[in-house]
């Protein structure tokens, strides 16, 4: 997944935090930036933290679906039972 950032905004967070472009921003600096009094800096830091969890193009995990998402609906862990319930709004299954 490609992250599209306007060219005018690229590198702003690195510059504000004093980290050279191309290096990773340390987690401690991001955490401190999230508590900043500047709303723009807080938003940039929050976006950077969220972007760490994205599937970035070109990495070994890019494009792969996580195992939990591939399990078919209806599979349940051992020991759990689901009770079917019919209502006027449809059929449901209650865990229990």
Please report, in tens digits, the pLDDT of each residue of the chain (96 residues total): 567 888 898 899 999 999 999 899 999 999 999 999 999 999 999 999 988 887 766 666 555 555 554 445 555 556 556 777 788 887 777 775
> Within a domain: residue 32?
yes
Whole-angstrom distance, CA of residue 16 vs CA of residue 91? 54
Total domains in the chain come to 1
> Within a domain: residue 5?
no
Q: Are 1 and 55 in contact (CB under 8 A)?
A: yes
Phi, psi (deg, nearest 5) at residue 28: -65, -40
Whole-angstrom distance, CA of residue 53 vs CA of residue 65? 14
In which domain, by residue range, is 60 found?
A: 12-71
């Amino acid at each position: 997944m490609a992250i599209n950032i306007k060219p005018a905004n690229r590198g702003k967070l690195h510059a504000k935090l004093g980290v050279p472009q191309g290096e990773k921003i340390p987690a401690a600096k991001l955490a401190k930036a999230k508590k900043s009094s500047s709303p723009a800096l807080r938003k940039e830091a929050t976006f950077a933290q969220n972007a760490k969890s994205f599937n970035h193009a070109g990495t070994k995990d890019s494009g792969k679906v996580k195992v939990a998402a591939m399990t078919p609906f209806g599979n349940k862990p051992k020991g759990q039972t689901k009770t079917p319930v019919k209502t006027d709004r449809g059929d449901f299954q209650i865990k229990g």
